[in-house]
Structure 1
Amino acid sequence: MKKADKTLIIFMAILPWLSISLLGRKTLKRFLPGGIFMSLYLIAEGRFAEKKKWWWFPYSVKPNVLAELPLILGPFLVGSLWILKFTYGKFNLYLLVNIIIDSIFTFIGLNWLKKIGYVSLVRLNKFQLSLVFLIKSFVLYGFQVVYEKCFPQNET
């Protein structure tokens, strides 16, 4: 991986965070627990996928650090907050938006990441990866529903 490509990966992790202030404090407080839960879920999934050879990251941020961490802590975490902000409570819209964004990543973004030597699928094809993303969409939404039942937000 070229130095310019490494810079792009770092940029990819940092750039989404520039939009956080636009979310609003209330939205951040409401949806951040779900985003953090999903980030932890993705870290566990990454370890599992590494063992099962679902995908391969020839590039690593640091030794013994999950290579997909820039994706998890950047676009996925912040993107989840934005998607929840605009679609939570409208499940069909939430599902549609997730399918569209996940498909763009799977069928366009993944090609670019493979081209720069960041990741490649090994034992999963793109359709199977789409199903993995779909499952994560259900898990995130389900977590948020349960979280809001257990910790209702006080409207003042």
Structure 2
Amino acid sequence: MDRLVIWSTFLIPWISLIFLNRLSIRRYMPVALLTAVLNTILAQLAWHYNWWKFKETLFAWDKIAPLFTVYSIFIVGTIWIFYFTFRKFWVYLIVNIIIDLFYGVVFVRILNKLEIRENGIISPIQNLLLMTAIAFILYLYQIWQEKIFENEN
């Protein structure tokens, strides 16, 4: 069961991009890749400081920054969130908080129950604050990126 959840969590987000036009993917891929970089760093901090740990992942070598979260849900989710909310900051912020709460409370509980992940010393509120800080950084980065896109045209 846990392998099915992990593989589904990895593949379904990428498959969802067939419903999005290429221009939008191209436009938001840089911020999505920044998401991966920031979440990789965050995952390394989490591993070192025992904020949380992943016990099951796609491969034996991806336990620190799991592919099915950092390189799937977070990348593709960022593209979708920006597609629907960019240039509407408060909507962006509220959507991010709702999704981060869902991930941090509901999805994490499912992963913990399936023994894919285990909690460490970080609280859900601290995790939400970290994710919100990353959301601010991503939004500022995308504003900067938009200036580059405007200069290209």
Question: 1:48 is matched with which residue?
Answer: 45
- The verdict on how the C-alpha distance between 1:153 and 1:97 changes in structure 2, with shifts beyond 3 A counting, is farther
- What SS does the aligned partner of 1:56 have? strand
**8 Å contact from structure 1 (residues 30, 153) kept in 2:** no
Aligned to 1:64: 61
Are 2:29 and 1:29 aligned? no
- Contact 2:7–2:68, Cα closer than 8 Å, also in 1: yes
**Is 2:6–2:58's contact at 8 Å kept on the other side of the alignment?**
no
> Does the Cα contact within 8 Å between 2:10 and 2:69 map onto a contact in 1?
yes
What CA distance in whole angstroms lies between the structure 2 residues aligned with 1:67 and 1:96?
A: 26
Matched with 1:113 is: 111
CA contact (8 A) 2:9 2:68 kept: yes
Which position in structure 2 is the counterpart of 1:130?
Answer: 128
Alignment of 1:76-95 (within 5 A): 76-95=74-93
Any gaps of 5 or more consecutive residues in structure 2? none
Determine the structure 1 residue equivalent to 2:145: 147
Shift of 1:7: 2.0
- CA 1:67–1:31: 2 relative to 1, 3 Å: closer
Q: Is 1:18 aligned to residue 1 of structure 2?
A: no
Greater than 3 Å deviation, 4+ residue runs: none
Structure 1-normalised TM-score? 0.90
Match of 1:62, SS state, is coil
Using the size of structure 2 for normalisation, the TM-score is: 0.91
Mean Cα deviation higher: 26-35 or 58-67: 58-67
AA in 1 matched with 2:146:
E
What is the one-letter code of the residue matched to 1:121? N
